[in-house]
Structure 1
Amino acid sequence: MESGKQLTGMLVLAVFTAVLGSLQCGYSIGVINAPQEVIERHYGRSLGVWSEEDSVLSENSTEEGRLSEAGHHPSVVMYWSLSVAIFCIGGMLSSFLVGYVGDLRGRVRGMLMVNVLAIAAGLLLGFCRMWKPHILVISGRAVMGFYCGLVSGLVPMYIGEIAPKAYRGALGTLHQLAVVIGILISQVIGLDFLLGNDDMWPLLLGLSGAPAILQSFLLFLCPESPRYLYILLGKEEQARKSLLRLRGSYDPTPDLEEMKSEKDEADREARVSILSLICSSVYRKQLTVALMMQLSQQLSGINAIFYYSTRIFTEAGVSQPAYATIGVGVINTVFTLVSVALVDKAGRRTMMLAGLGGMGCCAVVMTVGLRFQAEYMWMSYVSMSATFLFVSFFEIGPGPIPWFIVAELFSQGPRPAAIALAGCCNWTSNFIIGMTFPYIQEWLGPYVFILFAVLLLGFTVFTYLRVPETKAKTFEEISAMFRKGRRKTESPKDTDELQQLKTSTEA
């Protein structure tokens, strides 16, 4: 294997350390679902809806019935919905700060700084029974969401900048792999006989901040991004040392020359703000691709699958649907590993097309299965099989690729603003789906997946026509592809705008 392209121990350590933040995000996404009834019970007690005296059950009542009644109380429903939704709101707000935090003191120190948020959130959640649980849980979830919005941008940015070109795709997908592993861990330890019970649920929630403690120690061992050191700070010698630490004993001259070329280009173009990026026609094609990739992930119907999975498994006769749902989490993890293995061989565009097209076909099968499973028992098994396949296709492409491809599509100048906008788009669409899907499902019933099939068809066509292949290309080569396409259609106004962007920094 050519020197400088191999996976060294330091590179593995740096990537592992970074994705601990992704693991924390996944855990935080999944952990709130398992103990829902238990948490609603404590909300009810705190709000005076369900008291300790209610534990003395009457002859015609059951504890489950009382818990259900408390859980459907308007106040409990409101606070529970807020506990879930506030996480996405925090992510939406903080995603705008990714570029600022990453450039303030560097990628490594940026991740170290935001760990304060994760630890604070873990403490709020872990000690929520010491005061009003609904207030502390909502506060902790808001802080954790704010942290996850930052991490979902900082981790792919750091990994994309330290990874060798030959492994950039595989290492980039590790962010999504860590997320799904975090979700799976939360599903397993959230089972009733482990931590998802009346006594241990605060510890279950509080553990969401635990990876930040380990990551904080390991970050002191990790080299700073050489691209950040050279292109943003102009520190060539420190960038050289960082490259040697990350990739072992090799000649870093070609990598430094590539960075010099990108730095020269960055020096000629203005530091692009979020507003400038939105208004600029120069980067419109890249930005459209980046945002559509994020929308294809969140509007694919993956959240609807998780919403429906327990019902599908129950109607298929599975005696323990919770374990079948964990099975979906296992499939999630396994096929993300498949994506890690294939993304640098098959390519990003090919994997996205395969994933989106496969999900579209599964959505149609899901619709047929849900429509006829009441008439034909075997249709439930068709729905269940389509569920597993849907998740598999998601993790092949639309799950991991949108997170890291944004960093590949933009040069150094607009990259932080682009990552911030893409992150905000992802979190916003996630929030919208979470809030509106129950109403859409009630409206469309078993035909709800036809809506997602149509969306997936649109995303597949867009990917085929507009998304370029970035496999094994340098950042400069990827930018050149868009510049080449832009020259064929750009107007004199576009040319003047690009010239203004370049001369503004020179002035």
Structure 2
Amino acid sequence: MASLLQRMFQARVLILTVVAAGIGGCFQYGYNLTIINAPTEPLQAFANASWSARWGSPLGAFGTRLCWSLVVSLFPLGGLAGALLAGPLALKAGRKKSLLLNNAFVLLSAVLVVSSRAAKSIEMVFLGRFLAGVNAGVGLSVQPMYLGESAPRDLRGCVSLTCAIFTALGLVLGQVVGLREVLGSEGAWPFLLSSNAVPAVLQLALLPWAPESPRFLLIDRKDPKACLQALRRLRGPSGSLEAEVGELLAEEAALRGKAPPSALGLFRTRDTRWQLLSVVVLASAMQLCGNDSMYSYASQVFREAGIPRERIQYCIIGTGGCELLTALLCTLVIERVGRRVLVVGGYGLMSVWALVFTFALYFQESVEWMPYVSMGCIFAYILSFGIGPAGVTGVIPTEVFDQVSRPAAYMVAGSLLWGNLFLVGTAFPFLLDALGPFCYLPFLLVCLSAALFLGLFLPETQGKTFLEISAEFQKRNFRQGQAPLEVRTEEQEEEEEEEEERATAL
């Protein structure tokens, strides 16, 4: 572990790349999820005042509730649009430039929100939240793609998992900034909701100093010189590039002539059947597991445990801190224990805590000390989520899909993630009313099913090249006797000779 940290310290540009990509990428997802919790009542009052000033009559209870629902739900809908945009943008502009261009959405969002009160327009808040969602959707897909392609093989999981760290950091800082003592007071909500412009400005200042993804430069842009320059900057002056250059050239040769598929195209081809199924399970389970609902349930459980109302907000910050802590620990151990152990273990533990939580909720009113068990289950559930599912879910699409198919894979994963976030956020209040203390049984089934599927069918990708991982999935996609025969042509032989010349030149 010390040697890995030492190598990362030597590769200073890699650290800059991780920080610059993270602060305006996955950080925005976590941050925008939690800053909306504090200004609930002020925003509802503003929506009512805005409508009254325009039409001369108040919204009423239903209209006010509808406006608030739009403020909340437009963020994941924007995230879905951002996920669909991320693939084409990453292919045409590159990974680094996509992240830089993506900041335009959140800066425009901040301008709209901070101007909405003067304009007396709740619609500007709606549009601002949607654009913030687009920014988060693009960042949540492009950042892990960029970092996974830029990291050396033995640090790939560690570097990619920093996406979970920045997401959890965004969750915690969003909760802190939303405190009444900071920007959570009644009159400060426009500044709270527009504070997401700060990380965007930081990324615009830092990311231009980082290089583009070497794999994108070589395989997508066909620019070996720029690829080598990017590798030299990322690995530092003492890094040996011979083996990695050979790996990149082999990958480029294997993918030469292959056109990037669309998201729908992934469902039509047999080449990516098991990769796609694995990513669909991971992306769906990440939201359907009910981890975000735990944050919603936390206030009620803490209140029933006897915690004073004014202190509950600080306890909720502790739940976000748990996810941040486990993300940090997971980053340190992922290259030792592997991806599959972390994600399967995380969902397995979540299944256990969901069952205990159900019993605790059922006996909460009849047993005096049971609310404390419920409170412990909330922390344990979030800790288990941070052990693996929170971070490994973003790592796997980079590793199991090749360079050409990767943007489409993140479009599929991102669409499922944001669509399910919207679904769970909309359905959970009704689920709570219908099932009462048994509301976490559906989440228990999701966690248990994900643990079983991933334990049985997800191969370990730790320490393997992208070509080795593709070859392993190829055996599953085309069972013995089903794989198409490889016919060698004169053109392929000529290309191999050219490849040898290019390798010698590099």
TM-score exceeds 0.5: yes
Please, which of 229, 233, 237 is the counterpart of residue 217 of structure 2? 229
Deviation at 1:363, TM superposition (A): 0.3
2:352 alignment partner, SS class: helix
Q: Name the amino acid aligned to 1:33.
A: N
1:215-226 correspondence to structure 2 within 5 Å:
215-226=203-214
Contact 2:273 2:477 in 1 (8 A): no
Assess, with a 3 A threshold, how the Cα gap between structure 1 residues 15 and 130 changes in structure 2: closer, same or farther: same
Assess, with a 3 A threshold, how the Cα gap between structure 1 residues 336 and 373 changes in structure 2: closer, same or farther: same
Alignment length (residue pairs): 484
Q: Name the amino acid aligned to 2:22.
A: V
Please, which of 462, 480, 492 is the counterpart of residue 471 of structure 2? 480
Counterpart residue number, 1:119 = 107
Assess, with a 3 A threshold, how the Cα gap between structure 1 residues 49 and 133 changes in structure 2: closer, same or farther: closer
Counterpart residue number, 1:36 = 40
1:89-488 correspondence to structure 2 within 5 Å:
89-249=77-237, 250-319=239-308, 320-488=311-479
The answer to whether 1:14 aligns with 2:34 is: no
Assess, with a 3 A threshold, how the Cα gap between structure 1 residues 4 and 245 changes in structure 2: closer, same or farther: farther
Deviation at 1:490, TM superposition (A): 6.7
Contact 1:49 1:73 in 2 (8 A): no
Contact 1:290 1:422 in 2 (8 A): yes
Contact 2:52 2:59 in 1 (8 A): no
Q: Quote the Cα distance in structure 2 between the aligned partners of 1:490 and 1:273.
A: 28
Contact 2:4 2:155 in 1 (8 A): no
Deviations 1:145-175 (A, max 9, x none): 1111111111111100111111111111111
Deviation at 1:485, TM superposition (A): 2.5
Deviation at 1:47, TM superposition (A): 2.0
Deviation at 1:229, TM superposition (A): 0.7
Contact 2:31 2:196 in 1 (8 A): yes
Q: Quote the Cα distance in structure 1 between the aligned partners of 2:90 and 2:46.
A: 39
Identity %: 32
Counterpart residue number, 2:500 = none
2:127 alignment partner, SS class: helix
Assess, with a 3 A threshold, how the Cα gap between structure 1 residues 50 and 42 changes in structure 2: closer, same or farther: farther
TM-score (norm 2): 0.91
Contact 2:272 2:477 in 1 (8 A): no
Contact 1:370 1:446 in 2 (8 A): yes
Please provide the CA RMSD for this pair: 2.5
Q: Quote the Cα distance in structure 2 between the aligned partners of 1:210 and 1:287.
A: 36
Q: Name the amino acid aligned to 2:363.
A: F
Deviation at 1:133, TM superposition (A): 4.1
Assess, with a 3 A threshold, how the Cα gap between structure 1 residues 285 and 232 changes in structure 2: closer, same or farther: same
Q: Name the amino acid aligned to 2:432.
A: Q
Q: Quote the Cα distance in structure 2 between the aligned partners of 1:19 and 1:163.
A: 14
Q: Quote the Cα distance in structure 1 between the aligned partners of 2:318 and 2:5.
A: 40
Deviation at 1:271, TM superposition (A): 2.3
Deviations 1:60-79 (A, max 9, x none): xxxxxxxxxx9971111111
Deviation at 1:251, TM superposition (A): 2.8
Assess, with a 3 A threshold, how the Cα gap between structure 1 residues 167 and 371 changes in structure 2: closer, same or farther: same
Counterpart residue number, 1:26 = 30
Assess, with a 3 A threshold, how the Cα gap between structure 1 residues 205 and 259 changes in structure 2: closer, same or farther: same
Contact 1:19 1:174 in 2 (8 A): yes
Deviations 1:273-309 (A, max 9, x none): 2222111122111000011111111111112211111
Q: Name the amino acid aligned to 1:169.
A: G
Counterpart residue number, 1:47 = 51
Which stretch of the first structure deviates more once superposed, 453-462 or 265-274? 265-274
Q: Quote the Cα distance in structure 2 between the aligned partners of 1:180 and 1:5.
A: 25
Deviation at 1:50, TM superposition (A): 13
2:453 alignment partner, SS class: helix
Assess, with a 3 A threshold, how the Cα gap between structure 1 residues 16 and 310 changes in structure 2: closer, same or farther: same
Point out 4+ residue stretches in structure 1 off by more than 3 angstroms: 1-7, 494-499
Q: Quote the Cα distance in structure 2 between the aligned partners of 1:126 and 1:341.
A: 39
Assess, with a 3 A threshold, how the Cα gap between structure 1 residues 490 and 339 changes in structure 2: closer, same or farther: farther
1:423 alignment partner, SS class: helix
Counterpart residue number, 2:67 = 79
Deviations 1:378-425 (A, max 9, x none): 010110001100000000111111112101101112111111111111
Task: Mark the runs of 5 or more structure 2 residues left unpaired by the alignment.
Answer: 496-506
Q: Quote the Cα distance in structure 2 between the aligned partners of 1:282 and 1:122.
A: 43
Q: Quote the Cα distance in structure 2 between the aligned partners of 1:337 and 1:154.
A: 21
Contact 1:4 1:251 in 2 (8 A): no
Assess, with a 3 A threshold, how the Cα gap between structure 1 residues 490 and 351 changes in structure 2: closer, same or farther: farther
Deviations 1:103-133 (A, max 9, x none): 2122111111111111111111222211134
1:79 alignment partner, SS class: helix
Assess, with a 3 A threshold, how the Cα gap between structure 1 residues 50 and 362 changes in structure 2: closer, same or farther: farther
Contact 1:411 1:479 in 2 (8 A): yes
Q: Quote the Cα distance in structure 2 between the aligned partners of 1:497 and 1:306.
A: 53
Contact 1:5 1:164 in 2 (8 A): no
